[in-house]
Structure 1
Amino acid sequence: QIQSILASENNFTLHSSPSSCYNSCITDIQHANWYQSIALNENTSNFITLLLNVDGISISDSSDNSLWIFTFIINEINRTRRYKLQNCIFGGIWPGPQKPNREQTYAMLKLMTDELQLLENENAFTIKALGNQMVKLKVFLIGSTCDKPAQAIVQNVAEPIGEFGCGRCEIPGITVPSRDGGKHYIRVFPLSSKSRNEPECRSNKNYDRIMALKNATDQQRKGYLGPCALRALNEKLSQYRYPSTTSRTPRPIVKFHRFKANEFRLILLFAAPVLKHYLKPAVFKNYLLLVFALHLAESRSLQYEDIVHIRFLLGKISYLFMN
């Protein structure tokens, strides 16, 4: 998509050198400090930058269905042109009766993140505005614009009305009436007059540190909904070796909603050594009963006593599940 846009758009300017970014008056994104810091770090390379937008839109007034759209724009295109439909990059679209949950959002963002990391390496692009020259460019995502619900799912933080719901700071916040005497309450994040230190802002460094905490309290997590065992489990399962008779290795578990029956079967029957480290002991014991029952049921031939054992195991599962 980037190549297609650069090959057809005339209103494009490279701002790769720090001197071209400097301006005492900020008129566009290349004059911002963050953009200039990239220009300093990449002083021997050409680069362009992207801005991400995530938003949901209702399909019609008579329907609950909506579309959640992930789009990128290229900041080096003239402002009058960069938001034109033909210059928008579509990272993903989620159709459904409600906004995507966090697992679904993670699956979509993971694909986009992987590709963005590849784009940070130099790739050759044909640029029409430079006389159809072939230029090596690095591509960096430098920001996003989201409303509060979208910001919460993209940043993996609490909802804006919840504790630590601010997307910029790590203040827990307090609940107050939206107006005097009103019954409607909102959460605000005021600075403490007693604190001598400025509030901690959210950052990638803080996020990585918090995700590394084991059994973190709510205060320690600062509203981040992690650590996510699903990511660690996904990595372990990707390294797991299934029997040589396996015709199709299961896809990443974050894509379980697309699994075929055989992929569910393989993880169910053979992933116990991995799942043992992620399931609670009582749940893991219940899971093993199901595995034993299914192994018996998959035998090439069944004896009557095998059926008795299978019924016993499945009955035990039902009993433990209800209790």
Structure 2
Amino acid sequence: MTDKDQTNDIGFNKCYQELLQRNVNQNFITFLLHLDGVGLCKSTKLKMWLFSGSIIGLQPKLRYRRYNMPLFSIWIGYKEPHPEVWLRNCIGMMRVIKKEGTQTFNNQRVDIKFLSITGDCPALKLILNFIGHGDYFCCWYCYLRGVHVNNKRQYLYENPIILRGASAYKEGCSEAERTKHNVFGHLG
């Protein structure tokens, strides 16, 4: 696979290329995970939530075809699913596959790598146990606090912007779980 068309696809970017170089003698398949909820009909609030994946090693035009996107889990209901209930078995299975890999027809081990997860704001809010996009501290990347101006929530630019790092994000999440209170958008 080459980037002759300069698509700047994930497979050609620096992080993925470094992953390939670090694992040059290893057989593996990389997945990008997707989470989304869609309404099934207008007359009711029946929704379908999907947890699926796409194989990064495939060319983009093949990667996003339905038959190349395995469905890991589905939830259909009138209310949002509880992520712990909905995804517990699926995530457990994925951990086993990630740890043990899988075997090909000629008994070669192939490791599975899950690189990241994407989704729309409601889906990510749900699985991250984070506040909605109209609340205070709703940005996943910074600590900008919303303010009320003329009965509307606004997010005024502040210089410098204080970004959340991965460790700060994890600490906020842990504190919210421990205290059962909202900590910079993390719900307890």
TM range (shorter): 0.7 to 0.9
Partner SS state of residue 86, structure 1: helix
Q: Show the counterpart of 2:171.
A: 209
CA drift of 1:86 comes to 1.5
CA drift of 1:208 comes to 3.2
CA drift of 1:158 comes to 0.9
Q: Per the alignment, do residues 114 and 33 of structure 1 end up closer, same or farther by CA in structure 2, a change over 3 Å counting? A: farther
Q: Show the counterpart of 1:200.
A: 163
**CA contact under 8 A between 1:119 and 1:140: conserved in structure 2?**
no
**CA contact under 8 A between 2:122 and 2:132: conserved in structure 1?**
yes
1:78-111: CA deviations, max 9, x gaps? Answer: 21122222122112111111322xxx11222333
- Partners of 2:13 and 2:129 lie apart in 1 by 26
Alignment of 1:152-163 (within 5 A): 152-163=125-136
Q: Show the counterpart of 2:145.
A: 172
Whichever structure has more strand as a proportion of its residues is 2
**CA contact under 8 A between 1:122 and 1:138: conserved in structure 2?**
yes
RMSD of aligned C-alpha atoms?
3.0
Q: Show the counterpart of 1:114.
A: 92
**Greater RCO between the two (CA within 8 Å, min separation 6)?**
2
1:214-261: CA deviations, max 9, x gaps? Answer: 54874xx221113xxxxxxxxxxxxxxxxxxxxxxxxxxxxxxxxxxx
Q: TM-score, normalised by structure 1?
A: 0.49
**CA contact under 8 A between 2:146 and 2:153: conserved in structure 1?**
no
Q: Show the counterpart of 1:144.
A: 117
1:13-59: CA deviations, max 9, x gaps? Answer: 6xxxxxx8x99x56321122332343344344222221222222222
Partner SS state of residue 99, structure 2: coil
CA drift of 1:150 comes to 1.1
Alignment of 1:1-323 (within 5 A): 27-100=8-81, 104-126=82-104, 135-176=108-149, 185-188=152-155, 190-193=156-159, 195=160, 198-201=161-164, 203=166, 205-213=167-175, 214-215=178-179, 218=182, 221-226=183-188
Between the two proteins, the alignment pairs up a number of residues equal to: 185
Q: Per the alignment, do residues 157 and 92 of structure 1 end up closer, same or farther by CA in structure 2, a change over 3 Å counting? A: same
- Partners of 1:201 and 1:37 lie apart in 2 by 24
Tell me the percent identity: 22
Work out which of the two has the higher radius of gyration on C-alpha atoms and give 1 or 2: 1
CA drift of 1:176 comes to 4.6
